Structure 1
Amino acid sequence: AGGVPGGGEGPLPGAGAPPGHGPSLGHAPSAHLGGRPLPRSAVPLAYVEMRGRGDRLPLVLLHGLFGSASNLQSVAKALACPTGRRVLMPDARNHGSSPGSPLMTYEAMSLDVQHLLDRLGITKCIVLGHSMGGKTAMTLALQRPDLVERLISVDISPVLTSHISEFSAYISAMKSVKIPDGLARSAARQLADNQLREVVQVGNLRQYLLTNLLEVEGRYVWRVNLEAISHHLADIINFPIFHKPYPGPTLFLRGSNSSKHYPEIQRLFPKADIQDIEGAGHIVHQDKFEELVTAVLNFLPPL
């Protein structure tokens, strides 16, 4: 994770991963099918784990764009305690402590989760994903239904769901942040917050983005790989084309302001249960934590 050239003030680079696991941002060769790049290999994901009973299907929780495993830890605890289930929270590629990669498609992120499950000897699990993580979870279920006993998608549908311009503006704002070397962490965070304020006007969203501000040997970097994310924004806001539906039980939990995409949900997930959580925005687990946890617990298979 390189620092600012010259050691003075300069735009923060995207770290992509901790030191020693920097992103490869060159033009790596990749296979293509119908114009879409296919992942050549999986990225070994970093993850946080809550141990549980071996005779119960584990839960895998997948975070959203610009997030990390820590975003879902309170949800993980609330689900692990009453069920005794093992809970895994991976960092997606180019996020958190996972390595960087120039490829950022749902096919690639699904392959990463498959690789993690294989590495841990997990042959079947229950997957919950929020936002980008929900699309990764849906992709995994549609590609490998044998691995996914049931699926929970939090405030995301299997369709084009956002405008690129919004995320592009966030990335540009993050890239333009300048922090002098050696500044105390609290002062650095406040300075970055002030610089992001003009573009990212919602305070909670700024704080969410600032969880990615990382100090490396006295210099500040972004631990998310902004270049890879920027290059694949069209992939991230869209959804791959699938023809064969996922046959398992699926729960779609939506904030009350979310768009409705019933036809595509019902085509790909014929056993879908779609529930609205009143008063919740996009970050449902932050706005209506108890309601989300209750809905998920009621959806899980009996113990």
Structure 2
Amino acid sequence: MLRWAQAWRFPLGGRGPCYPSFSWVPVATCSSSGGKSRAKLRSLPLSYTLLDGKADLPALVFLHGLFGSKNNFNSIAKALAHQTGRKVLTVDARNHGDSPHDPAMSYEAMSQDLQDLLVQLGLVPCVLVGHSMGGKTAMLLALQRPDLVERLIAVDISPVETRSVSDFPSYMAAMRAVEIPEDMPRSHARRLADEQLRPVIQETAVRQFLLTNLVEVDKRFMWRINLDALSQNLQEIMNFPPQQDSYPGPTLFLLGGNSQFVLPSHHPEMKRLFPRAQLQTVPNAGHWVHADRPQDFMAAIRGFLT
């Protein structure tokens, strides 16, 4: 494990309630919700899965990235609960998975959602592990409420604006354009959706990841993510709220060796906001480090915990 001063020299259980996503977007019939919400910030009751463990050890809390869900960490959560003896919480962010939909999609809102859930479950202080969008949520929460975070792991993301590494607007446009007849068997529906996404999204792994959001409700196929809120707030999701205070706890930036999401130009702000940070790279991993190299990913987390 490299300390910060060294790292810069190197290149590089039970289930929680499942709330109905009442505003899931029907495939090919998406309508506009009329711009960003200016309503007062309010927290939403997030869907989660909690695996039991020792009460005297800080729980591990996993936060997924854009277009993801708590299910992205199913096997890793079970393995780490067994290996560490800790409680492990996986959470669906607002507008994702089984959590409610809402026009607001800011990091302030996502941080408030999570703060309320952690206090409700009595899981503070905890170890926050956030990937990409979830990593920015974790970083903001740690900066806002360091008393709730025993230590922090940000996976392949930094506290600065994320440049256009992936063409997220094209992804969402392609998803909106998918058309699937009613009453089609699920396996056929996924194949048809994959064929319609392929001209825009060539990477098979990315298409399969996006297709985890295709669900059947009342014999109609829908995207369970809130494409309206995500598209209207995409620039805000790519940014990071300006912060003055730093987080004093131990921090690990865990990067994919083949990823370009975190650049050397990000390092000064990472060091300013997280002065006790370490930097570690997982070789042969892209942006989805936990999916590409799950054993190395878990080994890095276990090493950081000790």
Read off the aligned partner of 1:271 and give its amino acid letter.
R
Residues 96, 212 of structure 1: 8 Å contact kept: yes
Give the structure 1 partner of residue 237 of structure 2.
236
Task: Show the counterpart of 1:221.
Answer: 222
Which residue of 2 is the match for residue 285 of structure 1? Answer: 290
Q: Secondary structure at the match of 1:49?
A: strand
Instruction: Specify whether residues 101 and 300 from structure 1 end up closer, same or farther in structure 2 by C-alpha distance, changes over 3 A only.
Output: same
Whether contact under 8 Å (2:94, 2:105) holds in the other structure is yes
CA distance in 1, matches of 2:179, 2:280: 43
TM-aligned CA deviation for residue 3 of structure 1: 8.8
User: 1:275 aligns to what?
Assistant: 280
Structure 2, gaps ≥5 residues long: 1-21
Identity among equivalent pairs (%):
54
Cα shift at 1:12? 4.9
How big is the shift at 1:29?
5.9
CA contact (8 A) 1:164 1:234 kept: no
Kindly provide the CA deviation profile for residues 222-246 of structure 1, in whole angstroms up to 9, marking residues without a partner as x.
0000000001100111111001110
> How far apart are the structure 2 equivalents of 1:197 and 1:251?
36
Q: Which amino acid aligns with 1:238?
A: N
| Maintained 8 Å contact 1:161/1:238 | yes
CA distance in 1, matches of 2:100, 2:296: 34
1:102 counterpart letter in structure 2: P
Match of 1:137 in 2: 138
**Is residue 110 from structure 1 mapped to residue 111 from structure 2 by the alignment?**
yes
- Residues 1:3 and 1:112: Cα distance change in structure 2 (over 3 Å): closer
Contact map agreement 1:12 1:221 (CA 8 A) in 2: no
Letter aligned with residue 95 of structure 2: N
Aligned-partner Cα distance in 2 for 1:4–1:92: 17
Whether the 8 Å CA contact 1:12–1:177 is kept in 2: the answer is no
1:30 equivalent in structure 2: 38
Unaligned runs of at least 5 residues, structure 1: 15-23, 32-38
Deviation of 1:30 (Å): 3.0
Q: Is 1:11 aligned to 2:19, yes or no?
A: no
Q: Which residue of 1 aligns with 2:269?
A: 264
1:280-301 per-position Cα deviation (integer Å, ceiling 9, x unaligned) = 1101111111111111101014
Equivalenced residue count is: 281
TM-score by length of 1: 0.88
What's the C-alpha RMSD, in Å, of the aligned pairs?
2.0
Distance 2:28 2:287 in 1: 29
Answer yes or no: is 1:299 the counterpart of 2:304: yes
Match runs of 1:1-303 below 5 Å: 1=22, 11-13=28-30, 25=33, 30=38, 40-163=41-164, 166-257=167-258, 258=260, 259-260=263-264, 261-301=266-306
Displacement of 1:263 after TM fit? 0.5
Post-superposition shift, 1:187? 0.6
Question: Which deviates more from structure 2 when the two are superposed, residues 239-248 or residues 112-121?
Answer: 112-121
1:11 alignment partner AA: A
The answer as to whether partners of 2:24 and 2:226 remain within 8 angstroms in 1 is no
Report SS of the residue matched to 1:107. helix
- Residue identity matched to 1:231: Q
Deviations 1:117-153 (A, max 9, x none): 1221233111000111001100110110000010001
Please tell me the residue identity of whatever aligns with 2:106. T
Distance 1:289 1:190 in 2: 27
| CA deviation map 1:164-189 (0-9, x unaligned) | 98111000000000001111100110
Task: Tell me the distance in 1 between the aligned counterparts of 2:25 and 2:161.
Answer: 36
Q: Is the 8 A contact 1:43 1:93 kept in 2?
A: yes
Say whether the 8 Å CA contact 1:66–1:95 is kept in structure 2: yes
In 2, are the aligned partners of 1:135 and 1:158 still within 8 Å (CA)?
yes
| Distance in structure 2 (CA, Å) of the matches to 1:275 and 1:191 | 40
Q: Is the deviation greater in 112-121 or in 158-167?
A: 158-167
Whether the aligned pair in 1 keeps the contact of 2:62 and 2:90 (CA below 8 Å) is yes
The alignment's TM-score, normalised by the length of structure 2, stands at: 0.87
**Partner residue in 1 for 2:7:** none
